[in-house]
Structures are given as C-alpha cells and as structure tokens.
Amino acid sequence: MNLNNILTSGHSFTEGEYALKSKFILLNSLIFLSITVVFILTIVLVYHGKIFFAMANIFYILSGLYSIKLLRKNKTNQKYIIVVISLLSLLLVVIAISKYPSEEVRFVWFPAIIISSFFLGGKKLGYIVAFLSVLSIIMLEYLIDTGLNNYTTFLAIIIILFSTTIIALYERREFILKEELLSMNQYLEDKVKKEIQKRLAMYEKTHNQLQESAVKLEEQKNAFKNLAHYDTLTGLPNRLLFYDRLEKVIENAEKNDQKFSILFLDLDNFKEINDSFGHDVGDDLLKIVAEKFQNRISKSDLLARLGGDEFTLVVGGWRNTEHIASIADRLIHALSEPIYILGYEIYITVSVGISIYPDDGMDIATLLKHSDSAMYSAKNEGRNLYHFYKQIMTDQALERVTLETRMRKALENNEFIIYYQPIVNGVTSELIGLEALVRWQHPEKGLLTPDKFIHIAERTSIIIPLGEYVMNKVAGQVKDWHEKGFNPSYISINLSVNQLRHKKLLSNINNMLEKTNFRDDWLEFEITESYAMKNPEESIEVLNQIKALGVKLSIDDFGTGYSSLSHLKKLPVDKLKIDKAFISGLPYDLDDKILVATIVSLAENMNLKVVAEGVENEEQKKYLENIGCIYMQGYLFEKPVDYTIINKKYCKV
Ligand code: C2E
Ligand code: CA
Ligand code: CA
C-alpha cells in the first residue's frame, strides 16, 4: 500500500471537461429558447401569409432540432453546431432585416448572437460573428435601403463593436482570474503534495523504526523463550524442556510399543570442587563436562541439565541393555582425563543410573525417580560407575529416607556409642593410642557400623551434630579415664570434610579441651587424604588453626588419594595412616609392597610418624616391622571395642 496511490486515485474533472459540460447545458437551452421564439414567430408569419419568411424560420427550427439530436448523440458535436447555429442565426436575422427593413428593432439580434457566440464558441467565433454582423449591416444598408439613417446605422455598428469590446474585456478578465486561480490551485496542490510527501517520508521512517523494534521484540521474545527452555550455562535443554520432550518420547514409545532408556548422570564430589576451587571454576567445569557428554552421544539422543551437577540423557532407538551400558561406559570414560581450568588440574568422575521404559516405569516421575535411585546405588558402590535400576534400590532408597529421620531421633535418644580400637607398637605390643569409631546401637537392627549410616549423615547435615556428639562422648570418656589414672596416650577422632568446613569446629574442639581441663596432648584428628590434597590452601589454613590449639593431626587412608609431595610438605600434620587396602596385599602383592615401603621411607624422610591400618596377620606384621613401620592397628591386635573392654584390658580397674 502506498499513499501515492490514494493521491492519484478517484476522478477529478479537468478544466476542459467542466467547460464542455456547462457549455452543453447552455447550448441546449439557448437552441431550445431560440427555436421556441422562432416557432411562435413562424406561426405569426403563416397567419399573415408571409410564406417565404416562414419557410426560412421553419428551416431554422429544423436545423435547430437536428442540432439538438446531434448533441444528444455526441457532446463533442457542439464544436460544429455552435458555429453552424450562430451563422444560421445571423443569416436568419439578415433575411429578416432585408424582408422588413423598416423594423429597426431586429438589429438587437446582432448583439444577442455575438454574445452567445462569444460565450459558447469562444473568442474566435465571437470576433468572426461580430465582424460578419457589422459586414451584414453595411451590406444591407448598401444593397437595400433599410430605411435607417446614417446615424442609426453608425450607432448600431458602434453598439455592436462596443458590446464586442466589453465581452472581449470580460473574457480577458475571466482568463486572468482563471490563470490566477489555476496557479493558486497549483501552488496549493504543490504544497499539499510536499506536505504529504513529507508525511509519507516520516511515516515510512516510523514504519521502518516500528519494523526494527518489532524485529528486536521478536529477538527478545526468542531470548526469553531460550531462557525458559535452555540452561544458560551449558546451553543444554533445562528441566522444563526436558520434561516436555520426554513426555513426547513416552507418547511415541507407547504408540509404537517401543523401549527407551533414561540415564541419570551425577558428578561425584562436584560440591567439594565447587567449594574448593570457587564457583567460576565449577561453572567452567560444568560447561566442559556438558560438552564432553554432548560429543559422545548421538544427535537423536536428548541430553539435558536438570540443575546443579545433574544431567539426564534419553536414549531412543532401543537395541539392548549392552548397548545402553556401552553408552554409559562411554560417558564415564569421557571424564577419564583431567580437566584444566585456570591452571588447576581437576579430576572429576560421574555416577550413572539407568532406568528403562516401560520396564522400570511408564511416566516421567517414576522413570526419573528410578534412574536417580540407580545413580545413588552406583555412587554408594564407589562412584565412577553405572547401575541399572533394580527394585531393591527403591527399597534401599526408602530405607535411606527412613534412616535419616531415624538418625535424628537416635541422636536425641543417645543411641550412638563410641568404640575404640587400639593402635599399638607392633614390636612391644604396647598401646600407643586409640581410634574412636562411632557405632549405632539401633533398637531393632542391632549394632550398626558406620558404613551403614555415616555416608547418609555426610550427605545430609546430620554429620555436624553427630560429630559434636562423638567429640562430647570422647571428651567425657577421656576425662573419666584420666580421673581413673588411665592414660591412653592419645585418642584420634575422624573428621569428615563437612565437619572441617563447619564454622563451629574450632569452638567445638575448644569445648572438648575445656572438658578435659585444657589438656591437649591426648587429642588427635584424622582427616582424609583427599580433603588435605584437593584444596591445599583451604586445608592448610584450617589445619593450622586446629594445630594452634595444640591438637595433633594425621592423614587417614593415605595412599588412596593423589598426594603431591610439595603439598604434603606444607601440611601441618604429624602422622600418616597407610590405608588398609594396601596392607591386605602384604607380604605377597609386589605393588602393595613397593607402595607401603615407599610411604614408610617418605614418612621417615619427612619426619612423620606412620601407622599401618588393618593389620590382620603375623605375616603382615613381620613385613611392616622389617621395613621399619612399627605402629599398627588392626584385628590382629584388637577390633574396635566398647570402652568396658578397653577398661578391662588396659585400665585394669
Ligand atoms: P577409618 O577411619 O578408615 O576407620 C578404620 C576402619 O577400619 C574401621 O571401620 C575399623 O573397624 C576398620 N578396621 C580396623 N582394623 C581392621 C582390620 O584389621 N581389618 C579390617 N577389614 N578392617 C579394620 P569402621 O569402624 O566400620 O569405620 C568405618 C569408617 O567410618 C572409618 O574408616 C571412618 O572413616 C568412618 N568413621 C567412623 N567413626 C567416625 C566418626 O566418628 N566420625 C566420622 N566422621 N567418621 C567416622
Ligand atoms: Ca580413621
Ligand atoms: Ca582409615
């Protein structure tokens, strides 16, 4: 659509068209009027027997009627008709005067015809008719005696010329006025056109701007849509879009009677990495992990990030469980290489849970719940694994939830008790310390070891009150032993990562020392190697604060993590505890032998004490003695036992 079209559309009459129309009406009426007049005259003439003149009049009437007919047929005929009628009228007047020369009044017809000619035929015809009129008067006067005296003739001619001049002047004025009007019209038209053009340009400009902002709006809309459906960090579909697509996948599978599987992927220890290296590194890590996953799946599979470090993958095109297992393997393998971010070398692993439609569930909620349970089971079994869902996992999950609530109750009911396991000098069998190990005296299930509940306590916040509980109990026990005159040398307490990160840790330790009259020589904490090594800056600071309280520190499960010597040197620790996994292979497993010997010489070089955990037989004990590791802990000497047993065996009271 264009405004120009509006401007040029519709019909406006031109000057000529208007003139033609008005002339046509005037001509018609004049001819009609003259015919009527001549007709009346003809009747009078016939009545008086003046036949010749009556004949002339009839001829005039007939030609008048014929002219009207021609005019009706085609308006443009008026061009000729005006001339012919004017001349015929003139002729009729000349005939009339020549016939009745004494009737001077007939001269009046001359000006009438001249005026009509001017108006109807224009200037040219007007002048011609005026000229012919004057000529006719002179001729009539000369050829026949009209009876006019010279003065009257002269006056008639003067009147004719005068009226001609007046009309010419009037015409001229009309013409000028018309010109002015025209130019004024033109000026106005130009102005209007310009204004319209200006508005048109303005309109087009705003139109363009509008279009631009419409495009921007569309872009923004899309961005919002993206925001609502895609995870901004990884660019993967988010939970919303995932649910949406999964619903369609389920519909499709139901219609076509097909199977498909859902993989639930959860990064192991991501929280620790996030806390240790900072959120920026955590974010980068998620991005890289998402990319690695994406590169190892087929385009038709749906990978999404549900939030945090949880990803889901829907694998369509069902083949068999081996196929799904190979995909899970591939995803686990995708993270086998370390990831480098901001100069850090980061190792991350993933645990995968798999559920299959329709075997493990028919709807989103069930399928996701079951793949989550399978993932949880994989995590429990040691992480970096995949598990297919089994019914028993749901039972276990239920058990977990009930266990969690039960544990809170158990804390209130004092159901947790502390067992102590002696640490001895293997050569002399002399007691050098005790490790405090928590147990849960469950009213129905009996005595539970930490592997049944400590991981749940660590996953929830229960580990904090449970840790405080252990410290209190141990401090009470130590106070009691001191009062009885029994000095177990030292007691070591295990601290988990979450306890080490808890802000109340130092004040809790202080309370414990206060309870034992500020003796600090009896207390030792065991921290895991992974905590000490994964984030050295943080751990060095925390460990130094603990050390400042006069408490000793040992690194537990040493050998399982990835200690770097340079970090180890900086840690304010007193002791290494060799993980029992390496002791069990002694003295036959060559790798274990080398590793244990290396740790022992390393500890010696660094001036650290070393304890071998899990010593179960004489052969192990011998080997350890031979390489100079004399401090030992294990079933060979004593299992973790109740304080009453310790009392009996060591306290002798
Ligand atoms: P851990 O710190 O490595 O504790 C040593 C574990 O090895 C104990 O298991 C102990 O019973 C077991 N053990 C000792 N000697 C032998 C042996 O000769 N052979 C074998 N096979 N095992 C032996 P337990 O008591 O079941 O504790 C398991 C883990 O639970 C502990 O591992 C520790 O990490 C954690 N834990 C125990 N008590 C606490 C606690 O109060 N707080 C925290 N945060 N963790 C605790
Ligand atoms: Ca320990
Ligand atoms: Ca240990």
Q: What is the pLDDT of residues 528-566, one digit of tens each?
A: 887 777 777 788 899 999 999 999 999 999 988 766 777
The pLDDT of residue 109 is 82
Q: Which band of pLDDT confidence, cut at 50, 70 and 90, is reported for residue 193?
A: very high
Residues 201 and 218: their CA atoms lie apart, in Å, by: 25
User: Could you tell me if 579 and 557 are in contact, meaning their C-beta atoms sit under 8 angstroms apart?
Assistant: yes
530 lines ligand 1 (CB under 6 A): no
Q: What is the pLDDT of residues 571-601, one digit of tens each?
A: 899 999 999 999 999 999 999 999 999 999 9
Query: 474 pLDDT exceeds 60?
Result: yes
Beta bridge partners of 345: 340
Percent of the chain with pLDDT over 70: 95
Query: 129 pLDDT exceeds 80?
Result: yes
Residues 110 and 139: their CA atoms lie apart, in Å, by: 14
The answer to whether the Cα torsion of 533, 537, 540, 542 is positive or negative is negative
pTM > 0.85: no
Q: Which band of pLDDT confidence, cut at 50, 70 and 90, is reported for residue 20?
A: low
421 lines ligand 1 (CB under 6 A): yes
From the CA of 423, how far away is ligand 2's center (Å)?
Answer: 11
Pairing of strands 446-448, 491-494: unpaired
For ligand 1, atom 45: residue with the closest CA? 494
Helix (H, G, I), strand (E, B) or coil at 362: coil
Name the CATH topology of 239-389. Answer: Alpha-Beta Plaits (3.30.70)
- Every domain of the chain and the residues it spans: 3-189, 239-389, 415-650
Q: For 11-165, list the strands marked E by DSSP.
A: none
Q: What is the pLDDT of residues 217-230, one digit of tens each?
A: 888 888 777 778 89
Q: Which atom of ligand 1 is nearest to the CA of 499?
A: 44
**Which residue pairs, CB below 8 angstroms and at least 24 apart, start in 113-118?**
113/86, 113/89, 114/160, 114/163, 114/164, 114/167, 115/163, 115/167, 116/30, 116/86, 116/89, 117/82, 117/86, 118/164, 118/167, 118/168, 118/171
From the CA of 556, how far away is ligand 3's center (Å)?
Answer: 5
The pLDDT of residue 284 is 95
Q: Which band of pLDDT confidence, cut at 50, 70 and 90, is reported for residue 257?
A: very high
Query: 113 pLDDT exceeds 60?
Result: yes
611 lines ligand 1 (CB under 6 A): no
More confident residue, 398 or 368: 368
Tell me, yes or no, if the two domains 239-389 and 415-650 fold the same way: no
Residue 233 identity: L
More confident residue, 145 or 484: 484
Lowest mean per-residue pLDDT among 446-450, 528-532, 604-608, 644-648: 528-532
Q: What is the pLDDT of residues 290-328, one digit of tens each?
A: 999 999 999 899 999 998 999 999 998 888 999 999 999
The pLDDT of residue 548 is 93
For ligand 1, atom 37: residue with the closest CA? 437
Protein residues with C-beta less than 5 angstroms from the ion ligand 2: 494, 526, 556
449 lines ligand 1 (CB under 6 A): yes
Domain 415-650 has CATH 3.20.20.450: yes
